[in-house]
Structure 1
Amino acid sequence: MTQDVISPYRLTLQSDHLWLDDVEYELQQELGRGKSAISWLYRRTTANSTLPAQIVLKRYCQTGHQTIDFSQALAFELCSYQRLQCAGIAHPRLLAYSHEYYCLAKAFIAGELISDLLIRQGLDDRHFRPMFAMAQQLEQHGFHIDYFPTNFVLNAQGLFYIDYEAHPYNGEWDFANWGIYYWLNRDGMRQFIATGDVRHINQPDQPKPWVTPFQRQRESLMRRLANGASPIGK
């Protein structure tokens, strides 16, 4: 599937700078660490360009938490990008990738992470409604994604999935049966972000969220959205 993915620009890395063709970017900060990669924010150093002012460079590395074999990580991401395009959900544009540097570059999506919103104020129907709509759209196209709250940004244009991970649909890992429990676990997410200890959000020794404490809240939320109730606070 990935043989059809052509890198839009040539990517070159050198120390704390990168180039997309001849357009230079300078490293600004680390954005986060995932199961198989570290993401970095870069800013364009020149004003005259049609390329984005800020981009994200995702560099794959060996970790102790890989769900995809390291040697297949880039190929899987490119395949996932095609799946997201097929499903038509909001996600960052792929700008370049490199087998030499084993990385990819994508547009930076400004806004607030769902995980930050969850910790700061909690989430309500205004956040869950577009997420359920996105999940339904993905399911209709035969895919599910990583519904963890750090993978989503909300801005004036709507909800964006900023990761590229996408799999053939499996209801065990969809939003209603997996991701929603992370979106409801405000205290657990706060402690996880502060400490990195997955015991605050996951059941022992498995990549499954705590379910029982949030079951009634989940059921109430899903009934309310199914009935078309107005968002909380409206």
Structure 2
Amino acid sequence: MKPGDPLFLKETPWQLVQLLGKGKSGYSWLVSRNGQVAVYKQIHHEPVSYYQFGDKFAAEIRAYHHLKEAQVNLPALLEYDEKAEWLLKSYLEGPTIAEQVAAGTLKNDVWPLIFRLSRHLQVLGINLDWFPANFIHTGGKLFYVDYEWNGYDPEWDFVNWGIYYWVNQQGMKKFLETGDHTAINLNGTGKPITNQLENVVARLISLQSAS
């Protein structure tokens, strides 16, 4: 698959525009049709050393409905095909939080939104994949562009795991430029580099706890 290739989704013609990214469960492409754009996600079954999956596709569909009920801002699920294991989602324009982290342009008004969401979901027993590539800040709202969720576990929550990716500007810049996971992760793990970031994280947590 490459940009410009045709794509038929339930016999409807689309065109691949750009690979947006690869996650633990699939490849996401920007696709277009008659001036309309959307995100096409094709589930993959490539192994992930630090994560165990069941039925990835069924989990995505269940997760969408569960997170909608939990009042998480999500891109709309437009269409899907269970047999071919793809989903078509609405496209949210704008840089991801990961891109803003790398560029040093993350706005301060994002922090209350992500901390509020984290606290809200902790009460509901939900963890998101808090990696910043999964979030877009637009229209004053924070959107979670993935549908993945897990039961709450403090080891993998925002303040103990995700936030370290949100403050690692140099590491995120290198990761986005090269794909080198060791720029942001402890080698061979799904855990973030925390060295020299603890003080920044502690300050943010303190500020948000006081607000």
Please say whether Structure 1 and Structure 2 have the same fold, judged by a TM-score greater than 0.5. Answer: yes
- Shift of residue 122, structure 1, vs aligned partner: 4.4
- Shift of residue 127, structure 1, vs aligned partner: 1.9
What SS is found at the alignment partner of 1:208? coil
Partner in structure 2 of residue 205 of structure 1 = 188
- Letter aligned with residue 145 of structure 1: L
Alignment partners' CA distance in 1, 2:159 and 2:31: 35
Matched, 1:105 2:88: yes
CA contact (8 A) 1:18 1:24 kept: yes
Partner in structure 1 of residue 142 of structure 2 = 159
- Shift of residue 140, structure 1, vs aligned partner: 2.1
- Shift of residue 157, structure 1, vs aligned partner: 3.9
Instruction: Point out where structure 2 has 5 or more consecutive residues left out of the alignment.
Output: none
Alignment partners' CA distance in 1, 2:156 and 2:66: 16
Partner in structure 1 of residue 28 of structure 2 = 39
- Shift of residue 92, structure 1, vs aligned partner: 0.8
The correspondence of residues 170-181 of structure 1 with structure 2, limited to 5 A, is 170-181=153-164
Instruction: Point out where structure 1 has 5 or more consecutive residues left out of the alignment.
Output: 1-14, 47-52, 229-234
What SS is found at the alignment partner of 1:213? coil
- Shift of residue 155, structure 1, vs aligned partner: 1.3
- Shift of residue 68, structure 1, vs aligned partner: 4.1
Alignment partners' CA distance in 2, 1:122 and 1:226: 23
CA contact (8 A) 1:80 1:167 kept: no
Which structure has the greater CA radius of gyration?
1
- Shift of residue 182, structure 1, vs aligned partner: 0.5
- Shift of residue 117, structure 1, vs aligned partner: 0.8
Number of aligned residue pairs: 206
- Shift of residue 25, structure 1, vs aligned partner: 3.1
Q: 1:91 to 1:200 in 2, by over 3 A?
A: same
What SS is found at the alignment partner of 2:83? coil
What SS is found at the alignment partner of 1:123? coil
CA contact (8 A) 1:90 1:159 kept: yes
What SS is found at the alignment partner of 2:137? strand
What SS is found at the alignment partner of 1:125? coil
Alignment partners' CA distance in 2, 1:68 and 1:42: 29
CA contact (8 A) 1:122 1:186 kept: no
TM-score, L = length of structure 2: 0.89
Alignment partners' CA distance in 1, 2:25 and 2:122: 25
Alignment partners' CA distance in 2, 1:155 and 1:76: 27
What SS is found at the alignment partner of 2:185? coil
CA contact (8 A) 2:6 2:13 kept: no
Alignment partners' CA distance in 1, 2:198 and 2:107: 16
Matched, 1:133 2:116: yes
Partner in structure 2 of residue 83 of structure 1 = 66
1:182 maps to which of 158, 165, 168: 165
2:15 maps to which of 9, 12, 26: 26
CA contact (8 A) 1:123 1:184 kept: no
- Shift of residue 133, structure 1, vs aligned partner: 1.1
1:146-177 deviation per Cα after TM superposition (whole angstroms, max 9, x unaligned): 00011011112421100011111111111011
TM-score, L = length of structure 1: 0.81
Partner in structure 2 of residue 94 of structure 1 = 77
- Letter aligned with residue 177 of structure 2: A
Deviates more, 1:60-69 or 1:182-191: 60-69
Percent identical residues = 32
- Shift of residue 118, structure 1, vs aligned partner: 0.8
- Letter aligned with residue 30 of structure 2: L
Question: RMSD of the alignment, in Å?
Answer: 1.9
Alignment partners' CA distance in 2, 1:132 and 1:188: 22
